[in-house]
Structure 1
Amino acid sequence: MIRALTAVVLLMSATLGTEAVAASTAAADSPPPTAAQEEGMTAGAPFRDPADAEIHQDLTITLDAASTRFDLSGRKVWGQSYNGVFVAPTIRVRPGSTVAVHLVNHLPVATNLHFHGLHVSPSDHSDNPFLCVSPGSSITYSLAIPAEHPLGTYWYHSHAMGTACPPSGSPTAQELSASDFVPGDVENQIFAGLSGALLVGDDRTLLPRPLRHIPAHTFVLKDAQIDATGHIVQNTATTSINSNDPTVRLVNGQLRPVLSMKPRQTQLWRLVNAGADIIYQLQLDGHHFTVIGEDGTPVARTTTADTLLLPPGKRYDVLVTADGGPRKAILRTTAYSNGPQGDSYPDVALADIVVPGHPVHRLPTVSGAMPTAPRDLSPAPIARHRALDLSENDAGTAFYINSQQFSTDTSIFDAPARLGTVEEWTIRNLSGEDHPFHLHTNHFQVMSVNNVTQPYTHQQDIVLVPHAVNGVPGQVVLRVSLADYTGRWLFHCHIAAHEDNGMMNFINVAS
């Protein structure tokens, strides 16, 4: 802790006003208790899915990123937004499409974009996190979505790895270099509101035919620490975002909304932790989740779970079936600690699920194999073994991978990876808090956790690496297929404060 659509164009602009400046100069005191932050908010409104990005006749989607005073369940709060709302519009793309994203930066610091989980190029003007868009500059990203891209739930967010770009007279973005790099602003910009869901296709089409038209809902989970002046807390030179401080947990920007289901009805829920730092452990009282997808990829076999752990950036696609009689259930994030050096979160109700009326016909239960799951890497020949150690200083203010902090020019690995091969990585956590490890560009398969073999059920792009216990590091072994794209593949802890403060690096992938 630290104290698509073919030829789609997205226009993102940001404007900083005088009110927003106050957010960066807020008092260094901790935010007030959660109950005080919720004053002025109204709980219990009908559940609303995030708005879809607007599609015009010319297939243009326009998003406006700005310093904004948006509405959080009736309370006006200052932060940063796309299109004036705390939860950015949901972007929907189709496999085989090409998406153009035009980003204009009017913030006082650098920014950029990351399309989390998409299997697209990490180079040039594709999903390149090393691009730096300085204030007043712009860039057009071009994302070629493969025709065979997995169907599922992804998200997009600011990935500002530096607060300033190299000096240049060009109005377009450029890549960061080590000589110009200063610590990043990922935590501030995500926490202020710059994130939203991204859906590739519709994974209901992978279900048995009777389930292909069930209701689907997107749950974008974010928290907000609101100071006494009505601004979302920011990390500045005099204060930092303490992820263990009191915070308001919101679903689609709503405080404890009410979602209706009919008795025996099955729905698809797309669950996205689009926050900067904190972890959700979801439970729906009296029900269970049937997992059909994780981190945007269909599972090889469905599983059922009573709880789901979502560190920052994690997604699950799940089926939920209401029981047979009228009642109410609570979707909650249960009490959770991510280690003695980390945070401890309370049990918080997120949404009420009401089940009124007469039962509907119960649809078949989904179990067993799912189509189009990524291949099992268990029998794959291993081209290279690599080791990564995650660590931090005692104060929890500096973070490392293999004892190095992030540099834009230097990989921790001397030898590049080879395109078309499979590698096995052993990730050890030497610290006293869990770290969610995220790899850009491609998913990976978890082989073991703390030396316990994991059966193949899916691939994913985030895994929580357990903290050390009594001096024994936590450990995850994973395999990654280095497919399709050369370039620098970034990896980092997805607690944004940790990546901003050093726990990030990359591997060079060569042909």
Structure 2
Amino acid sequence: MRAGTPFQEPATADATAADGESVTITLGATRSLFDVSGRPVHGATYTGSFVAPTIRVNPGSTITVRLVNELPVATNLHFHGLHVSPEGQSDDPFLCVAPGRSTTYRLAVPAEHPQGTFWYHSHAMGTTCPDPAAPSAPGTPGDVENQVFAGLSGALLVGDDRTLLPPELRQITAHTLVLKDVQLDAAGRIAQNTATTSIDSGNPTVRLVNGRLRPVLEMRPDETQLWRLVNAGADIFYRLHLDGHRFTVVGEDGTPVARVTTADTLLLPPGKRYDVLVTADPHPTRTTLRTTAYSNGPQGDAYPDTELATVAVTGAPVHRLPDVTGALPTAPADLAAAPVARRRTVDLTESADGNTFYINGKRFTDGSSVFATPARLGTVEEWTIRNHSGEDHPIHLHTTSFQVVSVQGAPQPYTHRQDTVPVPHAVDGTPGTTVIRVAFADYPGRWMFHCHIAAHEDHGMMSYLDVVP
């Protein structure tokens, strides 16, 4: 692959209709040969490239996405983080599109939907569609890891969260950075789980930004930009650091923050997004965006320090803009004082060989929930998530974001809501613990939750909660 080419945005599939209008996008899932930083690569694609096009939508509009399955296996779509119905032809991961078939998703985005960064990807819960007469398929793993790793994922932007910033920052340059990795064989084929080969997330891998190897992103001296960071890969974590700089976090998982913070590093497990402000040095220079060395537990993976991109500060200086502080205008309310209607415990475990995964002792192979009691609309619940394994598990909840109340018993000050949180691994037999609060404001149906390491959800660490009026 060629390193050091100019930074380039992903292609765009524009669905920015006026309020109440509908725009149709067609995505054809197919196996394909595409270019990855100058090298031909065999994988899967929606529109001919390794990084799927960025879908842009406005709050108050309806997105119509027609998915045509040209793969030899079943597939579907999940619109990760969108607050839309989990039922019908909306964001229902139980929908299954068989090879040679198509389906149409209609996503009614609420007018009050948060503006921020989301993403979409295959959520195939098997390689074949279940028989309507016998919908369960015990023992059949999902196919999310294969399909996302092969290329079936991309960013999704709702509105433009620059409009939430102070007036002087609303016209700054915004970039979308989609982080994905590839493991290739000698013929340029992306690794897959088959009868003879498998994806090992701990193997050496090539980390890419928008499908490019260590691209060069340009900034002017003293310039502030908005970076939309998306981990759209299948399995691995990123621990981002920009040498000599700090990130100013204005959004997490598509939700504007209730308190602006700064950070030297940002941890992005699979599925995680951050919207951050970055201000360049006051003089011409070059610096490096990297993912630093990181381990997600003694039974998990250990990743080396890896350069992702070069930031070249060049040209004439610009007027330095003021720092952003406080809360953004549409940040959701703090749930700390909300009445708790129900408390639940979610236990995460795995088999001794690390190949089978469970929630509350159950593997998601028969389509049933680990909870006998549904949640009710208009209530708030508190979940204690306990990780008994030796690796961190990033837990993702569909349909809404949640608030982290405590981690390892330490109360967390309210700064934001999120839809993905890494639950720490067990130490000396003591489980890692994260407590969250979830507001069930609307949308009855099956709200899914699972580990977003795709191999783990494929092999059992997934369930759902029935939400009823």
TM-score after normalising by structure 2: 0.97
| Alpha-carbon separation, structure 1, partners of 2:301 and 2:23 | 44
**Superposed displacement of residue 201, structure 1:** 0.1
Per-residue displacement from partner, 1:428-454 (whole Å, max 9, x unpaired)?
000000000000001000000000000
Moved more, 300-309 or 180-189: 180-189
Which of residues 281, 288, 298 in structure 2 aligns to 1:330?
A: 288
Which of residues 93, 101, 109 in structure 1 aligns to 2:57?
A: 93
| Alpha-carbon separation, structure 2, partners of 1:400 and 1:330 | 39
Which of residues 234, 249, 258 in structure 1 aligns to 2:207?
A: 249
Which of residues 140, 149, 160 in structure 2 aligns to 1:182?
A: 140
- Which residue number corresponds to residue 263 of structure 2? 305
Per-residue displacement from partner, 1:362-393 (whole Å, max 9, x unpaired)?
01110112111011100100000000010111
| Alpha-carbon separation, structure 1, partners of 2:437 and 2:369 | 19
**Superposed displacement of residue 139, structure 1:** 0.9
State whether structure 2 residue 235 is matched by structure 1 residue 277.
Answer: yes
Amino acid corresponding to residue 359 of structure 1 in structure 2:
P
| Alpha-carbon separation, structure 2, partners of 1:166 and 1:378 | 41
Per-residue displacement from partner, 1:62-100 (whole Å, max 9, x unpaired)?
333221111111110100012110000000000000111
Instruction: Tell me if the contact between 1:165 and 1:176 (Cα under 8 Å) persists in the aligned partners.
Output: no
Instruction: Tell me if the contact between 1:166 and 1:180 (Cα under 8 Å) persists in the aligned partners.
Output: no
- Which residue number corresponds to residue 409 of structure 1? 367
| Alpha-carbon separation, structure 2, partners of 1:194 and 1:176 | 28
Amino acid corresponding to residue 334 of structure 1 in structure 2:
T
State whether structure 2 residue 32 is matched by structure 1 residue 68.
Answer: yes
Instruction: Tell me if the contact between 2:82 and 2:118 (Cα under 8 Å) persists in the aligned partners.
Output: yes
State whether structure 2 residue 53 is matched by structure 1 residue 53.
Answer: no
Q: 1:375-454 alignment to 2 at 5 Å?
A: 375-454=333-412
| Alpha-carbon separation, structure 2, partners of 1:458 and 1:405 | 31
Per-residue displacement from partner, 1:457-476 (whole Å, max 9, x unpaired)?
01000000000011110000
Instruction: Tell me if the contact between 1:164 and 1:182 (Cα under 8 Å) persists in the aligned partners.
Output: no
- Which residue number corresponds to residue 433 of structure 2? 475
| Alpha-carbon separation, structure 2, partners of 1:76 and 1:474 | 43
| Alpha-carbon separation, structure 2, partners of 1:375 and 1:319 | 23
**Superposed displacement of residue 119, structure 1:** 0.3
Q: 1:115-154 alignment to 2 at 5 Å?
A: 115-154=79-118
| Alpha-carbon separation, structure 2, partners of 1:65 and 1:502 | 25
CA 1:186/1:72 → structure 2, altered by over 3 Å: closer, same or farther?
same
- Which residue number corresponds to residue 456 of structure 1? 414
Give the SS at the match of 1:86: coil
Give the SS at the match of 1:65: strand
CA 1:413/1:62 → structure 2, altered by over 3 Å: closer, same or farther?
closer
Give the SS at the match of 1:349: strand
Amino acid corresponding to residue 463 of structure 2 in structure 1:
N
| Alpha-carbon separation, structure 2, partners of 1:126 and 1:91 | 16
Amino acid corresponding to residue 78 of structure 2 in structure 1:
H
**Superposed displacement of residue 179, structure 1:** 4.5
**Superposed displacement of residue 323, structure 1:** 1.4
Give the SS at the match of 1:189: helix
- Which residue number corresponds to residue 162 of structure 2? 204
Amino acid corresponding to residue 487 of structure 1 in structure 2:
G
Amino acid corresponding to residue 72 of structure 1 in structure 2:
V
- Which residue number corresponds to residue 319 of structure 1? 277
| Alpha-carbon separation, structure 2, partners of 1:507 and 1:407 | 15
**Structure 1 spans left out of the alignment, 5+ residues:** 1-40, 169-174
**Structure 2 spans left out of the alignment, 5+ residues:** none
Give the SS at the match of 1:132: coil
Which of residues 36, 44, 48 in structure 1 aligns to 2:4?
A: 44
| Alpha-carbon separation, structure 1, partners of 2:280 and 2:229 | 17
Give the SS at the match of 2:149: helix
**Superposed displacement of residue 226, structure 1:** 0.4
Which of residues 193, 211, 223 in structure 1 aligns to 2:151?
A: 193
Per-residue displacement from partner, 1:262-287 (whole Å, max 9, x unpaired)?
00000000000000000000000000
CA 1:94/1:55 → structure 2, altered by over 3 Å: closer, same or farther?
closer
Instruction: Tell me if the contact between 2:23 and 2:64 (Cα under 8 Å) persists in the aligned partners.
Output: no
- Which residue number corresponds to residue 26 of structure 1? none
Instruction: Tell me if the contact between 2:137 and 2:365 (Cα under 8 Å) persists in the aligned partners.
Output: no
| Alpha-carbon separation, structure 1, partners of 2:314 and 2:70 | 48
CA 1:62/1:102 → structure 2, altered by over 3 Å: closer, same or farther?
closer
- Which residue number corresponds to residue 369 of structure 1? 327
Give the SS at the match of 1:190: helix
Instruction: Tell me if the contact between 1:274 and 1:312 (Cα under 8 Å) persists in the aligned partners.
Output: yes
- Which residue number corresponds to residue 104 of structure 1? 68
Percent of matched pairs sharing the same residue: 69
- Which residue number corresponds to residue 258 of structure 1? 216
Amino acid corresponding to residue 339 of structure 2 in structure 1:
P
TM-score after normalising by structure 1: 0.89
Per-residue displacement from partner, 1:175-230 (whole Å, max 9, x unpaired)?
98224772110000000000000000000000000000000000000000001111
CA 1:54/1:510 → structure 2, altered by over 3 Å: closer, same or farther?
closer
Instruction: Tell me if the contact between 2:450 and 2:461 (Cα under 8 Å) persists in the aligned partners.
Output: yes
| Alpha-carbon separation, structure 1, partners of 2:152 and 2:136 | 26
Runs of 4+ aligned residues of structure 1 deviating over 6 Å after TM superposition are 55-58
State whether structure 2 residue 81 is matched by structure 1 residue 79.
Answer: no
Per-residue displacement from partner, 1:395-441 (whole Å, max 9, x unpaired)?
11000001110045321111111111000000000000000000000
- Which residue number corresponds to residue 236 of structure 1? 194
Give the SS at the match of 2:13: coil
| Alpha-carbon separation, structure 2, partners of 1:382 and 1:49 | 43
Amino acid corresponding to residue 480 of structure 1 in structure 2:
V
- Which residue number corresponds to residue 155 of structure 1? 119
Number of aligned residue pairs: give it: 465
Give the SS at the match of 2:299: coil
| Alpha-carbon separation, structure 1, partners of 2:392 and 2:188 | 31
| Alpha-carbon separation, structure 2, partners of 1:473 and 1:415 | 25
| Alpha-carbon separation, structure 1, partners of 2:454 and 2:50 | 18
State whether structure 2 residue 324 is matched by structure 1 residue 360.
Answer: no
| Alpha-carbon separation, structure 2, partners of 1:92 and 1:462 | 21
Give the SS at the match of 1:488: strand
Amino acid corresponding to residue 403 of structure 2 in structure 1:
Q
- Which residue number corresponds to residue 18 of structure 1? none
| Alpha-carbon separation, structure 2, partners of 1:281 and 1:500 | 24
Instruction: Tell me if the contact between 1:53 and 1:62 (Cα under 8 Å) persists in the aligned partners.
Output: no
Instruction: Tell me if the contact between 2:15 and 2:57 (Cα under 8 Å) persists in the aligned partners.
Output: no
